[in-house]
Amino acid sequence: MKKGEVCVLTCAPEYAYGASGSPPKIPPNATLQFEIEMLDWKLEDLSPDKKNGILRHIITKGSGFDSPNDGALVTVELEGKLQADGKVFDTRTVTFNLGEGSDHNICEGVERALEKFLKGEKSRLIIKPKYAFKTKGNQELGVPPDATVEYEVTLTNFEKAKDSWQMDGAENLDNAKIFKEKGTNYFKESKYQLAIKMYKKVVSLLDDLANNTIEPEEIRAKAKELLTSAHLNLALVYLKVTPVHHFEAREHATKALKFDENNVKGLFRRGQASLGLGEAEAALRDFQKVVELEPQNKAAANQLIVCRATIQKQKQKEKQLYANMFDKFAKHDSEVTDREDKS
C-alpha cells in the first residue's frame, strides 16, 4: 500500500478467526472484510542517536541468525544514488572488512546498517549526511557536500571476525601484527581515522595478554613490545589529525612509557602533546630527558628552546596580570581612603 491509499481486504476464515470464530460477534468459519486506510509508516531507524540518520526498508529478508561484526569480511552488492535527483553514483560488488569501508568509498551509514543485516538480505537505506559523506561530500563518486543518499544493498556473504576470547595468545599476536601493519599503511596514506582504528584494535587484543601469567613469557614479551609500538603510533597519529588531539596523544605516550620509561619516542611525543596543551614545564622535563638519553637529538634540543621561550612568555603574562591586579587594588584602596577623609 501507498501513503493515503484506501482498500478493502477480504480475509478467508483460515486467515481470520478460523473454525472457532470470536464469539459473540464473529461466528465460526466467517469470511471477513476490512476497510483500511494507510495513513503513515516509519522505516526502521538504525542510527546510534535514533534521529533517523540511517533508515532501513527490508526488500528481501535474509536467512539465519548471525550478522557481521566489526572486522568481518563482507561481500555486498550495492547501488547508491542521490536522494535529491535520483542520480546513481555507485554500482558495484565489493568485498571489504567491516570497519574499513571508508577505504573503499563505503560510507559509515552503510557499514552501521550491515551490522544488522542477515546473509542474503536486500534492503533500501536512506542515509543523512552525518552518516553518509558529511560536509565534504565525495568528489570521486560525485556526491556533493551535505547530501542525503539512498542505497540498495544486498549482503551476499560474510565471514565473522573472531573475538579475542576465541583465540589463543599466539593467534591474538598474529592478528595484532596484521592490524599494526594495516594501521601503518593507512597512516602513510594520511587516512588517520582508519589508522587510529587499527592501532586501537592492537591495544584491544593485547592489553590483557601482556599481563596474563598463564601465557608463556615469550608471548607476553612480544605482546608488550607490540603494545608499546601501538601506543606510540597512536600518540603520533593523534598529533597529526586535525584538529590535533593533544590529550589523547599524551595519554598514549604515557602508556607506552609505562613499558619503557626511557623510550625516546614516548618522551618526545608526550612532550609535544604537553606543549600543545599549554603545559610547557611538563614538556620541558620530557625533552630534557630525551636530550640526556640522546645528546645529539637536535629536534629535542629545538623543542627545549621553544619550551623555555614559552615559559618565559607565560611568566611575563603572569607578572603583568599581577601588576594590573595590584594597580586595581591600590586604586580601590585610594578611592576608599579619599571617601573616608572627606567624611
pTM of model > 0.85 = no
3-state class (DSSP) for residue 22: strand
Q: Phi/psi of residue 301, each to 5°?
A: -60, -40
326's grid cell: 595590584
- Quote the pLDDT of residue 326: 64
Q: How far apart are CA 34 and CA 15, in angstroms?
A: 12
Start-to-end CA span in the chain (Å): 90
- Quote the pLDDT of residue 319: 76
- Cα separation values, 60 from 132, 153, 160, Å: 23, 10, 21
- Quote the pLDDT of residue 318: 76
pLDDT in tens, the chain (343 residues): 788 899 999 999 999 999 999 999 999 999 999 999 888 888 999 999 999 999 999 999 999 999 999 999 999 999 999 999 999 999 999 999 999 999 999 999 999 999 999 999 999 999 999 999 999 999 999 999 999 999 999 999 999 999 999 999 999 999 999 999 999 999 999 999 999 999 999 999 999 999 898 999 999 999 999 999 999 999 999 999 988 999 999 999 999 999 999 999 999 999 999 999 999 999 999 999 999 999 999 999 999 999 999 999 988 887 777 766 665 665 555 665 656 655 6
Burial 239-255 (b: 16+ CB within 10 A, else e): beeeeebbebbbbbbeb
Q: How far apart are CA 188 and CA 23, in angstroms?
A: 74
- Quote the pLDDT of residue 337: 60
